[in-house]
Amino acid sequence: MFDPAVSDQWWKNAVVYSVDVETFMDSDGDGIGDFRGLTHRLPYLSGLGVTCLWLLPFYPTPGRDDGYDVSDYYTVDPRLGTLGEFVEFVRTARDLGIRVVIDLVVNHTSSEHPWFQYARRDRNSRYRDWYVWVDERPEDEDKVIFPDKEDSNWEWDEEAGQFYLHRFYSSEPDLNIANPDVRDEIHRIMGFWLELGVSGFRVDAAPYLIGGTGIENEMPQDPHLILQDMRGFLSRRRGDAVLFGEVNLDPGDRETFFGDDGDEMTGLFNFILSGAVFTALARGEATPLAEHLRRTPSPPRTSQWLNFLRNHDELNLSRLPADEKDEVMAAFAPDQDMRIYGRGIRRRLPPMLGGDRRRLELAFSLLLTLPGTPVLLYGEEIGMGDDLAVEGRKSVRTVMQWTDGPNGGFSSKRDGDLAAPVVDDGPFRYQEVNVAEQRRREDSMLNRVERAIRVRKESPEFGWGAWTVLESGDPRVLVHRCDWLDGTVLAVHNLSGDDVETRIDLADGNRLEEVSDIFGNDRYEPLDLDDPRVPLAPYGYRWLRGRRPGTGTAL
């Protein structure tokens, strides 16, 4: 079943875990998570089955945008540790079989970055053209991304005597990607961290990196050449390194970021799939998800879809049709305080699903079996909640809940603020939801997720295979299969709260032999291939392995 010729494409069967160093584990009692604390918790992540850690920004920053306002790309924020401790962390992760991918935030810098300070002070500075300046603010401009904080994409700078472009916050001036010196510097940044052992980068806001607002006449004829150059540089330096792209665009536009031959982004976060999952969960029907899968093109051979339920930002529903967005909002964010920017939900998954264990397990089963590579947000494996009292998107960035002790075991700090709030009220409070408590219970969410990840890693067809949505005969049930080499896996999901019985279509080209259960929400009778009916409890799921006629064994 394993093909050595593709073994370097490790991301195809990876389990990615997104973590914020600042909120994961504090080693020295100052209330801020750090690399020593994260290193200490690597065995936990290895035991969970994580094979790739995606780190949110850890660079020096003024802290006006949760670390995405970078003031130095070549070191670690001193609050989080030293460069030496970062290297020790990467080495330890590698010894445990965990690769490290870091955020590459190069569409803008902090306004406090030395490059911008040099640029604003002197029109003759070599850094002046590293940013985008105009004497008069353009009358026509693109949509403002954060309408609650900004009313324009251009900000007047008194010292420079000009307006500068910022498509995010005014404290984050855009870099002039049309300038070849800027592109060379991006390569140097990538090369620096590759030498320290990282396995690639998650490219923040990739469409804005090559979008030409204000610099259209200076850009290459095809801006995607910039991404091709980045991928080429990456491949020359380290052949198995990755570029994971944050690309939230409409179908047809998003796929262009793979490149014609898979020569741009190695992986794209599938925002539209995330929206389809939540539409299906809201309706209790599989139809929205099945329709999306049928429309989703297979990525190039060297690329991959990255699937997620929630991430560190809002659940962005901007790509859903208006009626579907309204449905999801009504189901999972009935109060205005749960919504943000008119397009998203600022809640974690467990509160959205009312803490219903059956629906949570169903959602994780979908995440781990939908075609592509699964990406988990830290704390999802134990069912962590959120804190809506915290402003904006920070509501989902609470500290990791390790024990029922002070500060949830995140920090030994006795008084004063932590890096982020600890959830100490309601059904998701750390006294009830924590790693230590769930480790002791065989039937806990943590142990269930760990087992599911293990079976997922033993089923590379989900990541590597060609997928087919099969007719289930019931709009509440999703049935899909993935085929790779001699292997075939099937996944059956009941999106509703009803008992159902569906019949899997195994006729003609779908024919299988020796079908065996490999995972599910319950123990089931073996499937009768002559009459392949599958009963499922409310929100039930079932993973099966089959053998195609003329191939090897099913197990």
User: Minimal CA–CA distance to 68: which of 211, 191, 194, 208?
Assistant: 208
482-493 core/surface letters (b: 16 or more CB in 10 A; e: else): bbbeebbbbbbb
What separation, in Å, do the N-terminal and C-terminal C-alpha atoms of the chain show? 10
Residue 547 backbone zone (phi > 0: left; psi -120 to 50: alpha; other: beta): beta
CB 351 within 8 A of CB 386: yes
> What integer pLDDT is reported at residue 529 of this predicted model?
86
393 belongs to a structural domain: no
Number of domains in the chain: 2
Structural domain for 133, as ranges: 114-165
* DSSP assignment letter at 18: E
This prediction's pTM: 0.95
Mean pLDDT on 232-251: 96
> What integer pLDDT is reported at residue 115 of this predicted model?
98
The SS3 of residue 66 is coil
518 belongs to a structural domain: yes
159 catalytic, yes or no?
no
**Dihedral sign, Cα of residue 350, residue 353, residue 355, residue 359:** negative
246 catalytic, yes or no?
yes
384 belongs to a structural domain: no
237 belongs to a structural domain: no
pLDDT digits (tens, 9 = 90+) for 185-212: 999 999 999 999 999 999 999 999 998 6
The answer, yes or no, to whether residue 508 has pLDDT greater than 50, is yes
484 belongs to a structural domain: yes
- Could you tell me what percent of the chain has a pLDDT over 90? 86
Active-site choice (20, 172, 174, 246): 246
pLDDT digits (tens, 9 = 90+) for 274-310: 999 999 999 999 999 999 999 999 999 999 999 999 9
Torsion of CA 427, 366, 457, 506, to 10 degrees: 150
Helix-strand-coil split of the chain, %, nearest 5 = 35, 20, 50
Residue at a domain's end among 136, 165, 194: 165
What mean pLDDT, rounded, does the chain reach?
93
CB 49 within 8 A of CB 454: yes
The answer, yes or no, to whether residue 555 has pLDDT greater than 70, is no
539 belongs to a structural domain: yes
The answer, yes or no, to whether residue 552 has pLDDT greater than 70, is no
CATH number at residue 127: 3.90.400.10
pLDDT digits (tens, 9 = 90+) for 364-379: 999 999 999 999 999 9
Structure-token pair, residue 7 = 């073994």
533 belongs to a structural domain: yes
Residue at a domain's end among 165, 184, 200: 165
> What integer pLDDT is reported at residue 150 of this predicted model?
86
Annotate 419-466 with three-state secondary structure.
CCCCCCCCCCCCCCCCHHHHHHCCCCHHHHHHHHHHHHHCCCHHHHCE
Q: Which of 94-98, 401-405, 432-436, 471-475 has the lowest mean pLDDT?
A: 471-475
> What integer pLDDT is reported at residue 550 of this predicted model?
67
DSSP string of 79-127, one letter each residue: TT--HHHHHHHHHHHHHTT-EEEEEE--SB--TTSHHHHHHHH-TTSTT
Residue at a domain's end among 144, 165, 186: 165
451 belongs to a structural domain: no
Active-site choice (22, 69, 204, 229): 204
pLDDT digits (tens, 9 = 90+) for 342-354: 899 999 999 999 9
User: Minimal CA–CA distance to 281: which of 346, 358, 374, 213?
Assistant: 358
CATH number at residue 518: 2.60.40.1180
